[in-house]
Amino acid sequence: MTTIVPVTPDHPAFDQVAALFDDYRVHYGRPASPEATRSWLYAQLVQHRLSASALVREGRVCGFITFAVLPASLMLGAVWSIRDLYVAPPHRRAGVAKALLVHVVHDARAAGALRVSLQTETGNAAALELYTSMGFQRVTGLELLNLIT
């Protein structure tokens, strides 16, 4: 049986999601740090900075998605920002990422979100293919700026 569940620190799937989140960080070149990752994710969820959902199949977490709800001040509404999406390697190309995206987009629409945004690296062809196939469009006319503190 496959289900998508909201994940909170007290959910039975939390430890699996935290472990998979650490794998996600390693995938992007960060050093493995299971306990620090678990603590960080716990804090983000408890403080409502992030929300998370996981696709669970036969008791195992196959992938997760995190998102934040942000104010859209000019429109006097809210937007949803997908922050992280990761599928464990054995479950890739099996519809897990798409199912997680569909789930979040559905919830965002139901909540009255004005839009759902996400970002990925320009070289992530598989992700870009999935996102554009679902209707996500590249944003032009904006610049992404960072200030490292």
The reported pLDDT for the residue numbered 43 is 98
Mean pLDDT for the stretch of residues 32-52: 98
The reported pLDDT for the residue numbered 144 is 84
CB 6 within 8 A of CB 51: yes
Mean pLDDT for the stretch of residues 53-78: 96
Q: Is residue 143 pLDDT above 90, yes or no?
A: no
The reported pLDDT for the residue numbered 102 is 97
**What strands, in cross-sheet order, belong to the sheet with 51-57?**
2-7, 51-57, 60-72, 77-87, 116-117
Question: Residue 94 — very low, low, confident or very high, per pLDDT cuts 50/70/90?
Answer: very high
Q: Is residue 142 pLDDT above 90, yes or no?
A: no
What long-range pairs does 93-96 form, CB within 8 A, spacing at least 24? Answer: 94/62, 96/55, 96/62, 96/63
Mean pLDDT for the stretch of residues 108-118: 97
Q: Is residue 52 pLDDT above 90, yes or no?
A: yes
**Integer Cα distance of 52 and 119 in angstroms:** 17
Does domain 2-133 fall under CATH 3.40.50.620? My reply is no
Please give the model's pTM, rounded to 2 decimal places: 0.92
Domain segments of the chain: what residues? 2-133
